[in-house]
Amino acid sequence: MIPFRLQPPTPRLREGYRLLDNPELPAEALNRLLQQAGDQPRSQERWRQVLAHSTWHFAVINEPAAQVVGFVRITSDMALNANLWDLVADADDPAATEVYGALVGAALGRLRRELSGCSISLAAPPAALEALAQHGFVIDPGGIRAMGLPLG
């Protein structure tokens, strides 16, 4: 059986953290996470466009701090392919490892339920590798390396 279909349960977030499905988020909060991961910030209009063209997105909120501490968005052709984009967690947050696990688990769980035949591609920071490995992702399987080009 394909490992994607046999997933571990989505990790539970500690008290005070909440996983949100398709929330409205301020561009400033998303840009703060992107910049921590070494990416360039995006304008509010650009965020509006990428979220409008995403199939879904998930965020994790640290409620006591009233702060977005994790984010991932998913695009798909709704048939064969799905992509996870902007997988980020606040490196300074004490629950960052759990946040990555919750985001990956939520994204894969929804893909498994709604688009189970899709292949999945993603780009992720090194901090997300543990969560991805727990869900069956393999880095450079068989020595195959992916290439990417940042668009701007």
Query: What secondary structure does DSSP assign to 82-94, as a single string?
Result: EEEEEEEE-TTST
Asked whether residue 20 is domain-assigned, the answer is yes
Pairwise CA distance, residues 44 & 30, whole Å: 10
Question: Number of structural domains, the chain?
Answer: 1
Pairwise CA distance, residues 59 & 20, whole Å: 5
Domain that holds residue 107: 3-136
pLDDT 10s digits, 118-139: 888 887 888 898 898 888 887 7
Average per-residue pLDDT for the chain: 88
Asked whether residue 72 is domain-assigned, the answer is yes
Kindly indicate the confidence band of residue 151, based on its pLDDT and cuts at 50, 70 and 90.
Answer: low
pLDDT 10s digits, 63-73: 999 999 999 99
Q: What percent of the chain has pLDDT over 90?
A: 63
Asked whether residue 95 is domain-assigned, the answer is yes
CATH of the domain at 79: 3.40.630.30
Q: Which of 107, 41, 31 is nearest to 68 (CA)?
A: 31
